[in-house]
Amino acid sequence: MKIGILTSGGDCPGLNAVIRGFAKYVYNQIPKAEIIGISDGYGGLINGEAHTLKESDFSGILNVGGTILGTSRQPYKLMTQEDQNGQSKLDLMKKNYKKLGLDLLVTLGGAGTHKTAALLSQNGCNVIGLPKTIDNDIWGTDVTFGFHTAVDIDTECIDRIHTTAASHGRTMLVEIMGNKVGWLTLYAGIAGGADIILLPEFPFDPDDVVKTVRKRIDNGKAFNIIAIAEGAITKAESKMKKQEKLEKRGGDVTLTSALARYIEKEAGVETRTVVPGHLQRGGNPSPYDRLLSTEMGSFAGKLVEEGKFGTTVAVVNNKITSNYLIDIAGKTKYIPKDHQMIGVARSIGISFGDGEKYEKN
């Protein structure tokens, strides 16, 4: 059996741990299996860039960040577009899947990766997916590997911001990754003791944010911590098109920067913005993610052994299971209004800038 494996999309803590967990299961449980490493994500499959991996290649990578296979982004919307020769990227991937003699392909990635995996599955390739993203936005799984490590990193960032905010009496805005969903901002914001949390799922009113800042100052709190997702939007912006939003913010100015200036002007407080950026995706996976990644990788090996293709690994109610790719591809797991952690946050006085209060059940 020849098994191709690739990592696609943005890098993420835990990729190597999953690769290792999968490989160790295969080498220990599936006789005569051969693992083919495909370089730089779907780009490697498109270009036929692959090499056989030895068992020793998977040693010493459990706690190493990044990916030994390399990764890249290949937009899903371009997969079926034909070039001047009448071939699409999908055609080339199918061609190289056969040329490499693969019996199946294992893909580690996020939402876009899963959509392409489903496309390959529908076009005659045996595929098994693994859910990777610090955004935790893949449908059908309670958690993705890499998420908890990123929560740890962002929580430490907010912890450190607390000391300088308190020392100088400043309002600090920490911009956390999450363009479409706010899971990372929500969890790190609560764990880091943020006073205000702003999420893509909950459009906010800047005046409500200013009101919260002023109220804290009136209550003797000299500083404020605001955890804001990079994809957060105001209530006014939620009704606008992308270009309108950019023009309202002032061109390339981020919402975080625009909000900081507005708070400073309206509340009369000194503000600063902090953007951890790619630090959130880098570094070694936490012990939790090493365990989760090993468990997920091993389970993917079991799916291979059982011939359960067209599936992706998932965690549901603390149990490792699988979903069909066709059922979850293209769907996004947003934070619901009634999510338990939203209620927890509101109950302890954290504001989401939407004017809503905690409601007791």
Q: Which uninterrupted H or E stretch holds 322? A: strand 319-324
Of 11, 40, 57, 135, which is the active-site residue? Answer: 135
**For this structure, is 137 an active site residue?**
no
Count other Cβ atoms within 10 Å, centred on residue 45. 30
Dihedrals phi, psi of 274, to nearest 5 degrees: -130, 130
Ranges of H-type helices in the chain: 15-29, 42-47, 89-99, 111-122, 147-168, 183-191, 206-218, 242-249, 255-267, 287-306, 325-328, 340-347
Distance CA(7)–CA(168), nearest Å, equals: 44
Distance CA(302)–CA(292), nearest Å, equals: 15
Give the closest residue to 275 by CA, choosing from 173, 151, 155.
Answer: 173
Tokens of 247: 């023009």
Distance CA(339)–CA(319), nearest Å, equals: 20
Active-site residue set: 135
